[in-house]
């Protein structure tokens, strides 16, 4: 009698819900629809988030890119509009002086920003971007070696003329079936031996296929062959996981300014792009999206709850006599209240779980459609899904809704006097 | 009379009971000082025309309402200023109700209807169903236990209602026009059942306006304008004789 899991109590509840089945069904539809839309919206925003996050899959996102620009303030006898370059010493100084960094990668590029260089292999020619790197770049970018190997420490030390090609180059420079590993390519007339082929797994589909056509060579080899001395084009700096790079970025910039005699307030002399901050903005967008989903969903659910409350009120008016009889037979007000509350809770939960299931089914169909339409994963929506916490949260929302829906009818019901039972109509 | 009092337990004792209702801005004085006692095992009919106050009297007897003034003692328990919860408890424990319109719950079988007061008493499922079946048997409807009320005749419905009133083993049965919705033959059958239950020692109060029904009880109390104008013991007519 006291437990909610009492068999007799549930029998009572099911009997009275059953006693007007069709109306119950129609009423429950409001809640079904509300939770259906709520879950669908949440899945969609999840899918959108997944789609965007997949673009950065495997990359170290706690990363800042730093490059040199024109100095805009005169300082220590140096004029403004001076050009300067980073050097290998900067990398050492950053590693030594700034705490909380995981990897500092000095990099160079041939062809400048967005430009490219003529590359030849036997009779074939193409124009590609050449990047000079240390082996550590593998921890920062999601390059997967498909064949051969990547640049290693001994390549750096011995300044070997080796190159690792993007997989998309192969079909353009090589004949079908031709052996790639061990072959030679010419970069500005200098021969490099190909030791590996990579695929950038953060890039999906054919949209950014050009990004898969870069050539990586050892940093030291590059500096020597192309006369860069100890100059560094730009740094890719990744912080340790629990310290946002955004927090230490200013220290890095200040250190560079100091090392190159730049005015401490010259904000434009050192260019930077903060990947971490960029993603935070994205995350804010997703949070906003989720908030809107919850808001809209709960509003719609609200009207469903009002529907249930309404119908329960009518049902109680119709059952006034029955409730009166129950009271006369010894039902306490609390047991009447509990029965009404549990009835509405049961209705809400049942309809709600049906809504969640239906939303999951629809999401499944949408995913199936997207996967078949965009097999290479170009779609913005990817793996739209309801996770367990979302189901948990919607369950909590439903329980609250059910109790709210039952509250007013329950209060009405316990006001019914047992005298009603004696009244003959 | 005195011998009666000594031999039997006093079940209901009401002294100087007053009750009035506000009607518009006037006060309608419905019960004007009622003194009434009932011994254990009595079969009493309460008669009176409409407006005599008999319904109000029954409501107070049934702990569905309370008097403004005077005292009501039921089986030694003072009935006064009860909370809804305690009132529900007392109704369940002390009283069994039989209504004019039967008031069975339409979506429950005869057996489940009889079991309802036991459910509210917190009796376990198995014992509850056993007891209910026992009382259904007693009113001769054991074979109808899984029928819904709308599959039963009027007389059968009232017998189920009587079984329900008996199921909680109350001290007193209160019947409000129990034959009001039945034809004469069925009425007498129901009265026969009520007489048999009384013979087993149950105290029963019947509100009725039919004299032939009243004559089947052992004592007739006449109410008029809120006071008892006549209270006499009679030799009850056996209902069986008419069936």
Q: State how far the Cα of B190 lies from the Cα of B153, in Å rounded to an integer.
A: 12
Residues A138-161 pLDDT 10s: 888 888 899 999 999 999 999 999
| Nearest-5° Cα angle at B39, B34 to B44 | 65
**Closest CA–CA distance from residue B3 to any residue of chain A (Å):** 35
| C-beta of residue A75 within 8 angstroms of C-beta of residue A266 | yes
**Closest CA–CA distance from residue A356 to any residue of chain B (Å):** 31
Token couple for B132: 């209910």
Task: For residue B11, give the 3-state DSSP assignment.
Answer: strand
| C-beta of residue A405 within 8 angstroms of C-beta of residue A351 | no
What number of C-beta contacts closer than 8 Å exist between A and B?
80
Q: Does B108 touch chain A (CB under 8 A)?
A: yes
Which residues from chain B sit within 8 angstroms of residue A418, using beta carbons? Answer: 62, 64, 91
Q: State how far the Cα of A302 lies from the Cα of A404, in Å rounded to an integer.
A: 10
Q: Does B124 touch chain A (CB under 8 A)?
A: no
Task: For residue A353, give the 3-state DSSP assignment.
Answer: helix
Q: State how far the Cα of B86 lies from the Cα of A205, in Å rounded to an integer.
A: 74
> For chain A, first and last CA: distance in Å?
33
Q: Give the nearest partner residue to B85 out of A333, A421, A424, using CB atoms.
A: A333
Token couple for A4: 């909610």
- Global pTM reads 0.70
Alpha helices in A185-274 (DSSP H): 219-225, 245-259
Q: Which residues pair with A197 in a beta bridge?
A: A147, A165
Give the pLDDT of chain A (425 residues) as one tens digit per residue: 456 667 777 877 887 777 777 877 887 888 899 889 988 998 888 888 888 877 777 788 899 999 999 988 888 888 888 889 999 999 999 999 998 899 999 999 887 556 678 889 888 888 889 999 999 998 888 888 999 999 999 999 999 999 999 998 998 999 988 899 999 999 988 999 999 999 887 766 556 777 788 899 999 999 999 988 899 999 999 999 888 999 999 999 999 999 999 999 888 889 999 999 988 888 899 899 989 988 998 888 888 888 888 888 888 888 888 888 888 888 888 888 988 888 888 888 888 889 999 998 998 898 888 888 776 666 667 777 777 888 888 888 888 888 888 898 899 888 888 887 666 55
Length of chain B: 243
Which residues from chain B sit within 8 angstroms of residue A328, using beta carbons? Answer: 62, 64, 91, 97
Strand A190-200 to strand A162-166: parallel, antiparallel, or no bridges (unpaired)?
parallel
Length of chain A: 425
Q: State how far the Cα of A328 lies from the Cα of A326, in Å rounded to an integer.
A: 5
Q: Give the nearest partner residue to A322 out of B92, B100, B105, using CB atoms.
A: B105
Q: State how far the Cα of A343 lies from the Cα of A351, in Å rounded to an integer.
A: 12
Q: Does B64 touch chain A (CB under 8 A)?
A: yes
Calculated CA dihedral for residues A400, A402, A405, A407, nearest 10 degrees? -80
Which residues from chain A sit within 8 angstroms of residue B100, using beta carbons? Answer: 424
Q: State how far the Cα of B12 lies from the Cα of A33, in Å rounded to an integer.
A: 58
Q: How many CB atoms lie within 10 A of CB A116?
A: 18
Residues A71-110 pLDDT 10s: 888 888 888 888 899 999 999 999 999 988 999 999 998 8
Nearest C-alpha neighbor of B129 from the set A192, A7, A321, A15:
A7
Q: Give the nearest partner residue to B103 out of A7, A414, A421, using CB atoms.
A: A421
């Amino acid at each position: 009698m006291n437990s909610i899991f009492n068999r007799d109590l549930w029998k009572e509840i099911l009997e009275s819900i059953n006693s007007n089945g069709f109306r119950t069904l129609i009423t429950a539809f409001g809640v079904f629809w509300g939770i259906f839309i709520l879950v669908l919206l949440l899945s969609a925003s999840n899918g959108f988030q997944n789609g965007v996050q997949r673009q950065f899959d495997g990359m170290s996102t706690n990363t800042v890119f730093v490059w040199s620009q024109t100095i805009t303030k005169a300082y220590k006898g140096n004029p403004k509009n001076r050009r300067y370059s980073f050097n290998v010493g900067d990398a050492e100084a950053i590693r030594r002086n700034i705490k909380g960094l995981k990897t500092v990668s000095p990099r160079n590029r041939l062809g400048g920003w967005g430009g490219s260089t003529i590359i030849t292999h036997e009779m074939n020619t193409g124009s590609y971007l050449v990047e000079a790197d240390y082996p550590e770049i593998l921890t920062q970018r999601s390059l997967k070696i498909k064949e051969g190997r990547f640049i290693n420490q001994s390549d750096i030390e011995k300044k070997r003329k080796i190159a690792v090609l993007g997989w998309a180059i192969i079909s353009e420079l090589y004949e079908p079936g031709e052996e790639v590993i061990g072959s030679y390519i010419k970069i500005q007339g200098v021969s490099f031996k190909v030791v590996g082929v990579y695929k950038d797994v953060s890039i999906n589909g054919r949209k950014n296929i050009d990004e898969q056509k870069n050539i990586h060579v050892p940093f030291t080899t590059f500096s020597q062959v192309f006369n860069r001395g100890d100059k560094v084009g730009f740094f890719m700096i990744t912080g340790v996981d629990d310290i946002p790079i955004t927090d230490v970025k200013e220290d890095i910039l200040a250190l560079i300014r100091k090392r190159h005699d730049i005015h401490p307030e010259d904000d434009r002399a050192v260019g930077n792009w903060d990947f971490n901050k960029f993603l935070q903005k994205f995350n804010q967008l997703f949070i906003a999206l989720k908030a809107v989903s919850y808001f809209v969903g709960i509003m719609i659910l609200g009207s469903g709850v009002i529907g249930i409350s309404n119908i329960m009120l009518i049902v109680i008016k119709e059952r006034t006599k029955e409730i009166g009889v129950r009271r006369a037979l010894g039902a306490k007000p609390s047991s009447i209240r509990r029965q009404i509350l549990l009835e509405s809770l049961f209705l809400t939960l049942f309809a709600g779980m049906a809504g969640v299931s239906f939303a999951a089914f629809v999401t499944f169909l949408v995913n199936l459609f997207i996967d078949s339409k965009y097999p290479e994963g170009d779609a913005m929506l990817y793996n739209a899904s309801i996770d367990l916490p979302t189901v948990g949260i919607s369950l909590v929302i439903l329980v609250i809704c059910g109790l709210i829906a039952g509250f007013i009818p329950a209060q009405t019901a316990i006001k019914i006097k047992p005298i009603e039972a004696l009244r003959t109509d | 009379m005195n011998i009666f009092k000594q031999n039997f337990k006093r079940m209901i004792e009401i002294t100087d009971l007053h009750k009035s209702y506000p009607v518009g801005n006037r006060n309608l004085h419905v019960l004007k000082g009622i003194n009434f006692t009932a011994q254990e095992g009595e079969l009493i009919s309460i008669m009176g025309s409409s407006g005599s106050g008999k319904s109000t009297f029954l409501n107070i007897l049934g702990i569905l309402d309370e008097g403004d003034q005077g005292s009501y003692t039921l089986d030694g328990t003072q009935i006064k200023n009860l909370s809804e919860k305690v009132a529900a408890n007392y109704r369940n424990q002390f009283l069994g109700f039989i209504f004019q319109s039967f008031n069975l719950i339409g979506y429950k079988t005869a057996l489940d209807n009889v079991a309802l007061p036991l459910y509210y008493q917190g009796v376990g499922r198995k014992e509850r169903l056993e007891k209910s079946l026992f009382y259904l048997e007693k009113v001769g409807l054991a074979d109808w236990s899984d029928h819904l009320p709308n599959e039963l005749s009027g007389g059968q419905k009232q017998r189920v209602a009587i079984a329900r009133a008996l199921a909680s083993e109350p001290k007193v049965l209160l019947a409000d026009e129990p034959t009001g919705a039945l034809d004469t033959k069925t009425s007498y059958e129901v009265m026969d059942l009520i007489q048999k239950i009384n013979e087993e020692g149950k105290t029963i109060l019947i509100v009725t306006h039919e004299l032939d029904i009243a004559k089947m009880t052992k004592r007739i109390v006449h109410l008029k304008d809120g006071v008892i104008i006549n209270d006499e013991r009679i030799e009850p007519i056996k209902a069986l004789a008419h069936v």
